[in-house]
Amino acid sequence: MGSYIVKRLLSAVPVLLGITLIVFLIMALIPGDPATAILGSYATPENVERLNRQLGLDEPMWKQYFIWLGNLLQGDMGRSFALNRPVLDEVLDRFGATLVLAGTSFVLCALLGVLAGVVSAARQYGLADKAITFAVIIGISVPPFFLGMMMILLFAVRLGWLPASGMYAIYGGGDLPDLLRHLIMPALALSVVATGVIGRLSRSAMLEVLRQDFIRTARAKGVHERSVIWRHALRAAMVSIIPVLGIQAGFVISGAVYIEIVFQWPGVGRMLVDAILRRDILLVQGGVVVVAACYVMFNILVDVAQSLLDPRIKT
């Protein structure tokens, strides 16, 4: 198992390098440059050239990439042009916030989704199944950003129960209850679609398992139904549910971009959008490296978890 994890980690390195190269190429190919973005209306050729020189952007693109790569290996991601501060500081500031939001959402959608799937499957075509299936279809169909806006209108503007946006109160606050208050709406809005998807797939995975012989055997032996469902069936179904969780984790992280915008959550998604618009190539690179590394790590975790659950999967 140890050597498997090491092997997977090593194989992630070329993936990450490839991603940085692709992002760099895309940023080089799209029109516009940081100097034009910073200068706006004042972007005369003369001003652009002067600013590019000051920003160190007058070197050829391939050279810029290798300089960036060399610095990265020494732990230096460079300075953001637009924000005028080290990329690493900004990315770490932002990434923490995204982890809190996406992490909470992921836990919510995993728990609620699997729970909904199991209940649905156990009571197939029963009232609970129909109610859950209905709710799940609604959840999958509503765009999260729209749901977010509606939640703000209802809970912040109309009822005044929850703050409309941000991560902490502007004055006072800063403690855990304050964070939770700010987190409820964005985390729920972000988790709804993934909950629906996980719920649906858990249901079919459970139904699949419940039809198998070992379940019939367990029931025939007189094992308590609760134990049949939660211990025997769910454990077997998890083998096909876990990869879905892995994929949904990716969707939750990318979906955080919209939710971060709607709720003004100070996360990495909003940062990337701004950085792309400002052609802030180093900040884009830094953000992408961290997000991609996180995604790759998560996939490794999923594979490891799966092989632990199902000995038939080779490590």
Residue 223 binds another protein (CB under 8 A): no
* Residue placing its CB nearer to another protein in the complex, 85 or 216: 85
Residue 90 binds another protein (CB under 8 A): yes
Query: Residue 273's CB: how many other CB atoms inside 10 A?
Result: 16
Q: Tell which positions 252-271 bind another protein, by CB under 8 A.
A: 261-264, 266, 270-271
* Residue placing its CB nearer to another protein in the complex, 122 or 296: 122
CA pair distance 183, 178, nearest whole angstrom: 9
* Run of H or E residues at 231: none
CB of 270 to another protein, least distance (A): 7
Q: Tell which positions 147-186 bind another protein, by CB under 8 A.
A: 149, 152-153, 156-157, 160-168, 170-171, 177, 180-181, 184
| DSSP per-residue codes, 239-273 | HHHHHHHHHHHHHHHHHHHHHHHHTT--SHHHHHH
Residue 225 binds another protein (CB under 8 A): yes
Residue 215 binds another protein (CB under 8 A): no
Q: Tell which positions 5-44 bind another protein, by CB under 8 A.
A: 30-33, 35-44
CB 231 within 8 A of CB 221: no
CA pair distance 256, 102, nearest whole angstrom: 7
Residue 78 binds another protein (CB under 8 A): no
Select from 139, 196, 279, 283 the one that contacts another protein (CB under 8 A): 279
| Interface size with another protein, residues (CB under 8 A) | 71
- Token readout for 219 is 């029931």
Select from 11, 18, 85, 137 the one that contacts another protein (CB under 8 A): 85
CB of 82 to another protein, least distance (A): 6
* Residue placing its CB nearer to another protein in the complex, 119 or 241: 119
Q: Which stretch binds another protein (CB under 8 A): 78-86, 246-254, 282-290, 296-304?
A: 78-86
| DSSP per-residue codes, 171-203 | SS--SHHHHHHHHHHHHHHHHHHHHHHHHHHHH
CB of 228 to another protein, least distance (A): 9
| DSSP per-residue codes, 74-105 | TT---B-TTT-SBHHHHHHHHHHHHHHHHHHH
Distances (CA, A) of 117 to 97, 125, 223, 243: 30, 13, 21, 15
* Residue placing its CB nearer to another protein in the complex, 16 or 37: 37
Residue 82 binds another protein (CB under 8 A): yes
CB of 22 to another protein, least distance (A): 20
CA pair distance 112, 139, nearest whole angstrom: 12
CB of 153 to another protein, least distance (A): 7
